[in-house]
Amino acid sequence: MTLVPHPQQQRLIEFTAADLRPRLDEALALYVAAMDYPPNTVRQRAPMWLAHMMREGWRCVVALDEDEALAGISYGYRGAVGQWWHEQVRRGLNARTNSDQSFVDEWMRDYFELTELHVRPDAQGRGLGEALLRRLASMVDSERVLLSTPEGPTRAWKLYRRLGFQDVLRHYQFTGDPRPFAVLGRRLPIEENPVSG
């Protein structure tokens, strides 16, 4: 059995795009393992991650273990009109909110899209995901943070609820994915002990 250091013993550091590019294969392997996706997913996701790195406000925080290997990764960027995720969520909100444009506009302006948050399977359940999310959110100057996550009782769900994320859109199917997703959001900053909402 491999012992994984406590998150405080792992180093959380900000990565630039130049830092992440040479480690993209390692980061994508971590993503595939954390999500339990087929290995060929790496080839499909690599161009998308490279494109994300060029978006306005892209920020990334990684966790390095004692061997300098990636134990976790989180990144996102400023959401904007014309981005695939933004347009998908806006379409879903418009369809579900019965013309409550104020609700749609409130959530779809000035937000940071938390695009990826993954912890290597052998390092999960030790608070590393929360540490990554908090560090990344502390570097953002948007009013809100939004994310999407598959529906269901998971560690990710527990984390987001504990940190005060609320429902924005539930049981939504993104184009090309048959699974139901939830879009969750909250205002920033994230307090030390947020109240679940």
C-alpha 124/C-alpha 4 separation (Å) is 9
pLDDT, position 192: 79
Quote the distance between the C-alpha of residue 82 and its chain's center: 19
CA-to-CA dists, residue 15 to 12, 53, 68, 92, 108, angstroms: 10, 11, 13, 32, 26
Under CATH, what is the fold of the domain 7-187? Aminopeptidase (3.40.630)
Q: What is the pTM of this model?
A: 0.90
Of these residues, 31, 75, 77, 160, which one is catalytic? Answer: 160
pLDDT, position 177: 86
Task: Tell me, yes or no, if 75 is annotated catalytic.
Answer: no
Residue ranges of domains in the chain = 7-187
pLDDT, position 1: 34
C-alpha 167/C-alpha 154 separation (Å) is 16
Provide block-wise average pLDDT over 10 residues at a time, the chain (197 residues).
48 97 97 92 94 98 96 98 97 83 93 98 94 97 97 92 96 92 97 62
